Structure 1
Amino acid sequence: MGNYDEYVSQVIRAGNCVTLLRESYPITVQSFWNINHFEKFAQSVFWTFNKSFLLKLLDRAGAQKPIELHRCRELLEQYPVAYPEPMPEDADDELKVCYLKNSNLKKSPKFRTMYSLDVENRKSILEAVNKRIAALFPPSSAPDPVIPSPVEPESTIPISFLSMVRPMNGTPEETLRFIAEQVDKAGIRFALFSPAERIYKNKNPYGLNGAMAATIRYFFERGYFNKEYSFAEVFKSYLVYSGNKVGKLPSFLENYQEDGHFQKYFDKLKDLKISKLQ
């Protein structure tokens, strides 16, 4: 852990990556784009892979699903470098040591190549992700908004979920980041903007449906979504964006307020006294 200066140049020449954690994270073209690993790669690994491997990663960007691309972009904006400041409040002892070590490494000219290559590779990946998202959702292809029909909750959602989200600080992604932070503060244990791991017989984890409905409903009432859309439209579009599903969705939309988890999580969010979005 204390001898990085002795071999970091060899690691970079070989096109491998550097992490300050004790556990290694093998990166292949497949594992790099696996959204379950991407956050750890973005937070804790210096992307010192070589040009040839970078080209393989850039080529694979076009094969990713829209929800994965949006999540990758969100993480790259959150982590423009490895171990970004400030250190997370919930950092464990190992991560705290990594941040301390990182602050020391920055002082040495021996590691300039490592830091600069990490930034360059991240910028290249982010640019590829943005280009792919722009190709999938060109502005000219977005259909005109449709007046919602309260009697047809099963109607097709014509535009993307992000188009329904009112932007904070200029972007809808920033709004979703804020919502995710409030969900965490409320003690809701689900990562609601990522696909949840299904359990026995391919079912949602217990309480997930109520958590999703409570979150979207609460922020819907607080003005975080464009007013021309109904709750049913926003919720169904959210499911597409997050990669989650609800069995018997029409019936759930009619009765979600009777779900015990919905009321519990809705009350937790209300306790935060979040301001309406003006």
Structure 2
Amino acid sequence: MFISHRHYLNEVPVEGKKNLRFLCRLGFWDRYHLQIIRTDNCISLLTTPFAITEESFWNINHFEDLAKYVFWTFNKSFLLKILGRVESQRLPILLRCRDLLAEYPVAYKEPAPADADQELLFCYRKSAHLKTQAEFALLYQLDAQNRQEFLTAVEKRINDFPSSPPRLADGDTNLSPALDSPPAARAAIFLEMLRPMNGSPEDTLEFMISRTEEAGCHFKLFSPVKRLANGKNPYGFNGCVGGMIDFFYQQGYFKQEYNLEQVFEAYLRYSGNSIGKFKSYLSEFRNDRHYREFFRQLKGLKISKLS
């Protein structure tokens, strides 16, 4: 516990790159995490000495830890390198990657596992605190975006496989039991739903985030929100989510083939948030005072429709 507090944030080198730990030793964690991101490395809250290479990233045993305990703050170039190897991966590996990222759309996704030790529980408390600090918003944004882009590529590759299970090679017993049954329908990906600005759905997302902040939203809607002690979302969060999604939906920022329910579901997967009694919420969210107020604030920005 003492060691985990002393090493509040830990750099995870990507292909051998490292920073000087001067800011770390002084405890300037807000500056240190930006230094790590600037070097295109990743971040963990555990004292475990993780390291990432293109090869080790695709080692499924390592990948499980990366999905659970490492913030993916690597740069676009490294993302392209690992995406370039998606085509060569065996189906069981891709299925396991998909399942892990469905469970962990962000690192340290709450609640903490029931069997967590004291250090891991402390890491979850650290993460819950960092989410409330504006200085660390980029950390959670990059983690969510990199995971989503990787998941999109993995799911696309999975869908390219034939529907019948591949034949086992001699001595190979590592196929998932899920291959014996028909593949489940593919869940829509949030970035795929966005109509591109300047040829890029990522630019559309950045525009939505900036306009949401400009409208005065008190929450980082595209990062996991810190829940209250009773496990519920903070007061007003659900209304702001509804106002944001509904406004941009009406303004044509989502492709026409997706309905509002699909957009909400994809947003929740992307952001790592959840809304209790979701079906009831969908039927009632426009009656929420916070929805009406935030929708009006967005409308006041005079944002043009996307055509």
**What TM-score comes out, normalization by structure 2 length?**
0.52
Amino acid at match of 1:127: K
Aligned to 1:189: 218
The aligned counterpart of 1:209 is: 238
Equivalents in 1 of 2:40, 2:282: separation in Å?
A: 44
Indicate how the Cα distance of structure 1 residues 65 and 225 shifts in structure 2: closer, same or farther if over 3 A, else same.
farther
Establish whether residue 262 from structure 1 lines up as the match of residue 262 from structure 2: no
Q: 1:217 to 1:194 in 2, by over 3 A?
A: same
Q: How far apart are the structure 1 equivalents of 2:219 and 2:79?
A: 27
CA 185–246 in structure 1, closer or farther in 2 if over 3 Å, else same: same
TM-fit CA distance, 1:53: 3.7
Contact 2:17-2:41 at 8 Å conserved across structures = no
Report the CA distance between 1:76 and its aligned residue. 3.2
The alpha-carbon distance between structure 1 residues 187 and 179, as it changes in their structure 2 partners (threshold 3 A), is same
1:18–1:47: 8 Å Cα contact kept in structure 2? Answer: no
For 1:41 and 1:127, the matched residues in 2 are separated by 22
Q: Does 1:199 align with 2:153?
A: no
**AA aligned opposite 2:75:** L
User: Which of 216, 220, 225 is matched with 2:254 structurally?
Assistant: 225
State the AA in 2 paired with 1:128: I
Structure with larger Rg: 1
- CA gap 1:198/1:15 in 2 versus in 1, 3 angstroms: same
The yes-or-no answer on 1:165 pairing with 2:164 is no
Cα distance change on mapping 1:214 and 1:38 into 2, 3 Å:
farther
Contact 1:17 1:47 (8 Å CA) reproduced: no
Once the two structures are TM-superposed, the CA of residue 124 in structure 1 deviates from its matched residue by 3.3
Q: 2:34 matched to which residue of 1? A: 40
Between the aligned partners of 2:295 and 2:263, the Cα distance in structure 1 is 17
Structure 2: gaps (5+ residues): 1-15, 43-49, 87-149, 161-184
The number of residues matched between the two structures is 193
| Correspondence 1:76 to 2:75 | yes
CA distance in 2, matches of 1:214, 1:195: 17
Residues 221 and 271 in structure 2, CA contact (< 8 A), matched pair in contact too:
yes
Change (3 A) 1:159 1:44: closer
How far, CA to CA, are the matches of 1:64 and 1:15 in structure 2? 17
In the superposition, relative to structure 1, how do residues 125 and 138 fare at CA in structure 2: closer, same or farther (>3 Å)?
closer
Tell whether 2:95 aligns with 1:141: no
Match of 2:263? Answer: 234
TM, length-normalised to structure 1: 0.57
